[in-house]
Structure 1
Amino acid sequence: MPGTPEATPAKQVSDAPSPRRLLSSEKVYEGRIWDVVSDTFQLSESGDPLTRDYIDHPGAVAILPMNDEGQILLLKQYRHPVGMDLWEVPAGLLDVEGEDFVVGAARELAEEADLAAGTWNVLADVFNSPGSSSEAIRIYLARDLTEVPHHERHERTDEEAEIEFHWINLDDAVASVLAGRLHNPSAVVGILAAAAARAANYEDLRPADAPWPAHPSQR
């Protein structure tokens, strides 16, 4: 009787830089917030040139605010490209040159949710749409929350002026993700990451200042 095959060691999967030969790069569209770039490159020294157009993005941060009862804050905001009101988490562009990532996240939390946090951890780092954009997003867990005083609050305009707040239990948020009721990628990833991290009482999460080599400024 043949013996039982030995189990193969678990392989750690990790995304990694993969430099390719860049032949040319051209900005083909300059937008108000981000640009479209056309790059021509080779996958290998003997390969044919390939051209890809993509959004050149400064990167962003998103924040999952969690109160002392374990509830998280979601914001409802209209998103014109999809024509829907989406329940999201506070988020914003890293468009202030040289700004520390956590400082940017704290700014967005204050501007969009009127909150400050005493404890910050990294939940996840993601590329929003790596086939068409260079956008890298870092999602934070923000706890030990306090309200920003009324006289210091940011005046929200345009779509942000319609923002609605809703505190929801983490388990209910997970159920909404799995039922297909939530679509914003930062909210979906942040909610599921927080639910996974809860099993270890959030002690395995990276510190707020953990390296972020995937961000465009670090590559």
Structure 2
Amino acid sequence: MSAPADRPESWPILSHRIAAHGAISDFVEDEVRVPDGTTMVRQWVTHPGAVSIMAVDDHDRVAVVYQYRHPVAMRLLEPPAGILDVVGESALGAAKRELAEEAMLGADDWRVLVDFFSSPGGLQESLRVFLARGLHHVGRPDGFLVEAEESDMGLQWIALDELVDLAYAGRVQNPNMVTGTLALALARAQGRIDSLRPGDAPWPAREQFRVRNRELDARG
């Protein structure tokens, strides 16, 4: 018997319709055949995926930003993060770029902290949370323009233990922040920081993302 793990699987799509196009995501509706022979209709949102970075300094403080999030009408405490929207860029490359863009930081040591889906019942988004250590100041990448929400977010340093308290108190709610904070605290407590996956470790969800998109593209 194989070890428990998520596994790739795709049920037959009988019809596929894009109900609405967006700048980043589309809203789609699929009719899908279920293994028992019945069918179901599922509406879901496409997404290119994203990365976030738990950047930790030598004093066990985490670099965080306050970013306005219009859909929830709140300013959230978040780690530096961004979507995978650059063609040909690796997830690690995107993480390095985002850390430089939002925090003006680089890192000597990159590990994969955790991978997750933000809302797999209705959203395609897959996320990878990186751990960055050995931090140093860098300039923003050439051509990067600070605009929209990023023009008013700022950078703060908060102790990891304080972030844990904030998460359990319900005072931070961004999924990258909560997941990254608790995963990092547990990894530290279990002494597994140095055995975390390397920054360029395979990301199976991204391969399945490409398989699914090729399947949908073939339908036209």
Q: Normalising to structure 1: TM-score of the pair? A: 0.89
* CA distance in 2: counterparts of 1:118 and 1:152, whole angstroms: 20
Within the candidate set 17, 36, 41, 1:26 is matched to 17
Give the whole-Å Cα distance in 1 for the aligned partners of 2:61 and 2:24: 33
CA distance in 2: counterparts of 1:163 and 1:192, whole angstroms? 23
Larger displacement relative to structure 2 (54-63 or 144-153): 144-153
Map 1:74-113 → 2, pairs under 5 A: 74-113=64-103
1:36 matched to 2:22: no
Bigger Cα Rg: 1
Q: Residues of 1 paired with 2:126 and 2:108: CA distance?
A: 24
C-alpha spacing 1:42/1:151, structure 2 compared with 1 (3 Å): closer
Does the CA-based 8 Å contact 1:110-1:154 persist in structure 2?
Answer: no
1:49 maps to 39
**Aligned amino acid, residue 30 of structure 2:** D
Equivalent pair of 1:197/1:204 in contact (CA under 8 Å): no
Contact 2:100–2:140 (CA under 8 A) maintained in structure 1: no
TM-score normalised according to structure 2 size? 0.89
2:171 corresponds, among 167, 181, 188, to 181
- Higher share in helix: 2
Residue deviations 1:85-116 (CA, integer Å, cap 9, x gap): 10001111101122111001111111111111
Q: Displacement of 1:155 after TM fit?
A: 3.6
Counterpart secondary structure, 1:214: helix
1:65, 1:73 within 8 Å by CA — same for their partners in 2? Answer: yes
Secondary structure of the equivalent of 2:96? helix
Partner of 1:66: 56
The match for 2:204 is 213
Alpha carbons of structure 1 residues 101 and 128: separation in structure 2 relative to 1, 3 Å: same
Change in 2 beyond 3 A, CA 1:214/1:201: closer
SS at match of 2:176: helix
* Cα separation, 2, equivalents of 1:23 and 1:99: 33
Question: Which ranges in structure 1 are unaligned for 5 or more consecutive residues?
Answer: 1-10
**Does the 8 Å CA contact 2:67/2:76 hold for their aligned counterparts?**
yes
Q: How does 1:139-150 map to 2 (within 5 A)?
A: 139-149=129-139
Identity %: 43
- How large is the RMSD of aligned CA atoms in angstroms? 1.8
Q: Give the stretch that moved more between structures: 63-72 or 141-150.
A: 141-150
